[in-house]
Structure 1
Amino acid sequence: MLTVRGVSASGYRSLRSIRFPVDVLSVFIGANGVGKTNLYRALELLQSAAAGTLTRDLAMEGGMDSALWAGKRKLGDKACITLSAELFDPEGGSVPLTYEVEIGLVQQYVTDQGHRVAMGAAFVQEAQIKREALLQSTGRRPVTLLDRVGAKGFARGLDGRKQELAAGLLATETALSALKDAAAFPELDLVRRTLLGWRFHHDFRTDKDSALRRPCLAVTTPTLSSDAGDLAAVFATLAHIRQDTADLEDAVADAFPGARLVIPEPDRFARFGIIFPDYPKRVFEAAELSDGTLRYLALAGALLAYRLPPFIALNEPETSLHPDLIEPLARMIAKASERTQVWLVTHSERLADALGREHHSRCHRVVKRDGATWIDGLKLFGAFEDED
C-alpha cells in the first residue's frame, strides 16, 4: 500500500483552494465553524472516487448546490470541486503517484417547452465527473497514466501504450473505480486499493441499540470497520488468533487503572467485557458500559487492531470521553502511528498537547481567512513554514 504525502482540495464548501502535506501523524485543531470537518470530508470523498460512489455521496450531503464553494469567485472561475492525493511508497518500490478528480455541474439545455434536460448520462441536478488524471512522477517530466475529460480519455497500460477508455463509462462514474484490470493497469489498481483501505472513524454510536453493545459474528477480523460494529471480533482476533493482547491490555489499564478486559473464546458470536477493581467477580458486558468507556474501547480497536489500514482518519476522537482518558488516548494514537499514518482533527487543546509530548508532532491550527478554511503557517505552494 502507498503512503499519503499531500492532499489538495478546491471549490469544496469552505475549502476555496488548499494544499497541505500529510505526515506520519497529522494533528489539526480549531474552533467550531472553521472547516476542520471539511478537510476530513475531502479525504472521504477521495475514497469515494475509488469506490465509485463519489457522485452518490455528494448527493447524500445535499448535492452540488450544498457542496460547492459558496464564497466569491473570480471572473472565469469554474463552479467545480477538485480533489487530489499525492501518494508514494516509503520503501521506494514505486515512484510517486498523484490522483486528481474534478467534479462539476451537469451541462443542460432548455427545450422548446422550457424543460431543463441534462446533456450526457446524468440527471439534471446530479454531479458529474469532468476530469480525472493519474500522474507518475519520474524526476523529469511526469508520465500521464490516466487522462480523462468528460467521457473520453485514455489509460496507459503496463506496456506503456495508451488505451482509450470504454465508451460505456458514465458521466457519474470514475475511471479509477471502473478500470479494475490489475494486470493491465497496475498503478491504477494500487491507487484504488490504497484509497479503499483507508479508514474513517467518527461519531461511534453508543446508544442502547448500537452494534457496539451487541455480540457480533465470530469472523476473523484483523481491521476494525468504520462504524466499529465488529469490535468484539477485532478483540477476539487479537486474543485468540494472534494471541497477543499486550498493547490492548496496556491501553485498558492506562485508561481504567486496575480494570481488565475479558475476551472469551468465541462460539458463533464474539463478545467482550470489563472487570473493574471495585467488582472483581463481576464482568460488565458491552451493553452495560458507559458511553465514554465504550467509545474509548472502539478507538482502541481502531488503533491497536491485528492489521492496521494504510491510513486512519479520526474526527474529534475526544468526543464523550472523560478528561482523564485524553492522555491514554494520545498514547494509543502515538503507538498506532508507529505502524500506519494517523490523521486527526480535534477541538481539544489537551489532546493536541498530549500528542505533542508523546510523539513530538506539531499541531496545525485551522482558521478561517477571508471566509475560506486555511491552516496557520501553510505556504501557498503547500508546505509549512518550518518545512521549507
Structure 2
Amino acid sequence: MDLPVRDVSASGYRSLRDITYPMSRLDVFVGANGVGKSNLYRALELIQAAAANRLGERLAAEGLDRALWAGPRQGRTPTRLALAVTLSDPGRREAAYRYEVEVGFPPPTAGAFAQEPQVKLEALTYHSGGKRLRMMERRNNAVMARGTDGRPAEIDMDLLSSETLLGRLEDPARYPELDLVRRTVLGWRFYHDVRTDAASPLRRPCVAVASPTLDSDGANLAAVFATLAHIRGDTTDLDAAIDHAFPGARLDLPPPVREASFGLRLPEFPQRVFEPAELSDGTLRFLALAGALLAYRLPPFIALNEPEASLHPDLMAPLAAMIATAAKRSQVWLVTHAEGLAQALAAHGAVRTVSKVEGATTIAGLTRLGVFRDEDD
C-alpha cells in the first residue's frame, strides 16, 4: 500500500524560509530563474534521503552552512533547517502520517565533525480524528518508538547524530507504520539527472530483466520498453505518445535475450532502424520521459525538474499529454520554465507561480498555514 502525499513543509533551507505546500495529483511550478523552484524540489529529495539514511551525507555534500536559510532570524532561535511530509492513510479518509526532521550544527562538545549535519529532532506522528499518536520520536540521542503492542518504549541503539531513525530502524514486524512510511518515500522517483550525452546509459542496451519502473538515471529504459511490449503486451499509450511527438515514427522493440534494446523507425526511412546512439539529444530525452511517465508500474510520486530541456517547442503538447496521463496513476510534481507546457497542463492540475519576497521563496496565494487564499478574497 502506497501513501499519497498530502503536504510537504520546509523551513530554514536555502530560500525556503517557512513554507507548507498542499499537494494535489498534479502540481506545476513556474517562475523566473533564482526564485527557489529547484529548492522546493531539493527539499523533497532530502526527505527521501532521510528515508535512505543519507540525509547527513546529502547536506554535508551541499555544505550545511550554505544550505541553511541566510536571511534574518527571530530572537535567539537555533540555526536549523526543518523538513516534514504528511502522507494520507488511504484506508481512513481523515487519517495521515506526518514525518518531521530537524537538522543543525553539532555542539562543540559533540563527537562529530565541526560542519557535520546533526539530527536534532525526528518524529513520526499518526493523526486520526483530531487525535495525535507519536509512533516514533528522537531528540538528539534519546529514541522512543511504539511497537505493535501499542506501547511506547525507549530504544537503545547505536545511532550516530548524522543518521536518521527513519533510515536506521528497520524492523517491519515490530514497527510496521515506520516501515510503511519509509518504503513509500523510498519509492518516489526524481527525474532530472537523465543524461543524453554520447556516454549516456540511455544509448546502450541494458540487462534483460523485467523493469516495471524507470530508474532515476534512466539506465533501464530499454528494459522498461521491453516490459511493456513483451510482458504486459500493451504499448498503446507508448505508441500514441511516439506518434504524437514524431508523426509516423514507431519504436522497434526486439524480444530481449540477454540484453534489452530499442530503436526508432522514422517515416522517411521505414526500412531503417535508428539506434539510440544515433538519435538526437531531444529525441532521446523525450523517449526517456515516455519511459518514466508511461511505464508498466508508476512510482507513487514522480518529480520532474525542467523536463523540457533540449526539447523542441513542438514537443510540449505531447509531453503535456504524457504528464496528464501519468497523473491519473501517480502524483506528479513538475518544475518548468516552459510557459507552453504549463498552459497545456492547466486543465489537468494546479499551476503555481513561484517568486521571491525579501529573499524568501513564495507561491502566489499560499498562506503560511499551507492553504490557498480564496480567489474572491
TM-score tier after normalising by the smaller chain length: over 0.9
| Equivalent position to 1:364, from 352, 360, 363 | 352
Cα distance in 2, alignment partners of residues 100 and 364 from structure 1: 25
**Corresponding residue of 1:112:** none
- The one-letter code of the counterpart of 1:281 is Q
Cα distance in 1, alignment partners of residues 312 and 156 from structure 2: 54
Query: What secondary structure does 2:27 align onto?
Result: strand
Cα distance in 1, alignment partners of residues 231 and 38 from structure 2: 36
| Equivalent position to 1:373, from 350, 361, 374 | 361
**Corresponding residue of 1:354:** 344
Once the two structures are TM-superposed, the CA of residue 94 in structure 1 deviates from its matched residue by 8.9
**Corresponding residue of 2:126:** 136
Query: What secondary structure does 1:280 align onto?
Result: strand
Structural RMSD (CA)? 1.3
Residue by residue, what CA displacement relative to the aligned partner does 1:303-329 show, whole Å, maximum 9, x if unpaired? Answer: 000100000000011111000000000
- The one-letter code of the counterpart of 1:241 is I
Cα distance in 2, alignment partners of residues 282 and 89 from structure 1: 51
Q: Are the aligned partners of 2:193 and 2:216 in contact in 1 as well (CA < 8 Å)? A: no
| Equivalent position to 1:385, from 365, 373, 377 | 373
Once the two structures are TM-superposed, the CA of residue 169 in structure 1 deviates from its matched residue by 1.1
For structure 1, which runs of at least 5 residues remain unmatched after alignment? 110-118
* TM-score of the pair, normalised by structure 1: 0.94
Select between 195-204 and 138-147 the one with higher mean Cα deviation: 138-147
**Corresponding residue of 1:316:** 306
Query: What secondary structure does 2:369 align onto?
Result: coil
Once the two structures are TM-superposed, the CA of residue 66 in structure 1 deviates from its matched residue by 1.1
Q: Are the aligned partners of 1:10 and 1:17 in contact in 2 as well (CA < 8 Å)? A: yes
Residue by residue, what CA displacement relative to the aligned partner does 1:235-270 show, whole Å, maximum 9, x if unpaired? Answer: 011111111110000100010000011111111111
- The one-letter code of the counterpart of 2:356 is K
Residue by residue, what CA displacement relative to the aligned partner does 1:170-208 show, whole Å, maximum 9, x if unpaired? Answer: 111111111111111111011000000000001421010
Query: What secondary structure does 2:28 align onto?
Result: strand
Q: How does 1:40-59 map to 2 (within 5 A)?
A: 40-59=41-60
| Equivalent position to 2:332, from 327, 335, 342 | 342
**Corresponding residue of 2:321:** 331
Q: Are the aligned partners of 1:151 and 1:167 in contact in 2 as well (CA < 8 Å)? A: no
Query: What secondary structure does 1:200 align onto?
Result: strand
Cα distance in 1, alignment partners of residues 213 and 94 from structure 2: 25
**Corresponding residue of 2:38:** 37
Q: Are the aligned partners of 2:80 and 2:104 in contact in 1 as well (CA < 8 Å)? A: yes
**Corresponding residue of 1:126:** 116
Cα distance in 1, alignment partners of residues 269 and 48 from structure 2: 45
- The one-letter code of the counterpart of 2:73 is R
**Corresponding residue of 2:146:** 156
**Corresponding residue of 2:281:** 291
Percent identity between matched residues is 60
Query: What secondary structure does 1:38 align onto?
Result: helix
Once the two structures are TM-superposed, the CA of residue 153 in structure 1 deviates from its matched residue by 2.3
Once the two structures are TM-superposed, the CA of residue 385 in structure 1 deviates from its matched residue by 1.6
Select between 323-332 and 91-100 the one with higher mean Cα deviation: 91-100
For structure 2, which runs of at least 5 residues remain unmatched after alignment? none
Q: Are the aligned partners of 2:24 and 2:350 in contact in 1 as well (CA < 8 Å)? A: no
Cα distance in 2, alignment partners of residues 29 and 94 from structure 1: 31
Cα distance in 2, alignment partners of residues 162 and 239 from structure 1: 50
Once the two structures are TM-superposed, the CA of residue 370 in structure 1 deviates from its matched residue by 1.0
Matched, 1:77 2:77: yes
- The one-letter code of the counterpart of 1:29 is V
Matched, 1:247 2:240: no
Matched, 1:185 2:186: no
Q: Are the aligned partners of 1:308 and 1:339 in contact in 2 as well (CA < 8 Å)? A: yes
Q: How does 1:101-112 map to 2 (within 5 A)?
A: 101-109=101-109
Matched, 1:200 2:190: yes
Cα distance in 2, alignment partners of residues 386 and 24 from structure 1: 20
Cα distance in 2, alignment partners of residues 94 and 50 from structure 1: 24
- The one-letter code of the counterpart of 1:237 is T
Query: What secondary structure does 2:101 align onto?
Result: strand
Once the two structures are TM-superposed, the CA of residue 93 in structure 1 deviates from its matched residue by 8.0
* TM-score of the pair, normalised by structure 2: 0.97
Matched, 1:168 2:169: no
Cα distance in 1, alignment partners of residues 55 and 3 from structure 2: 21
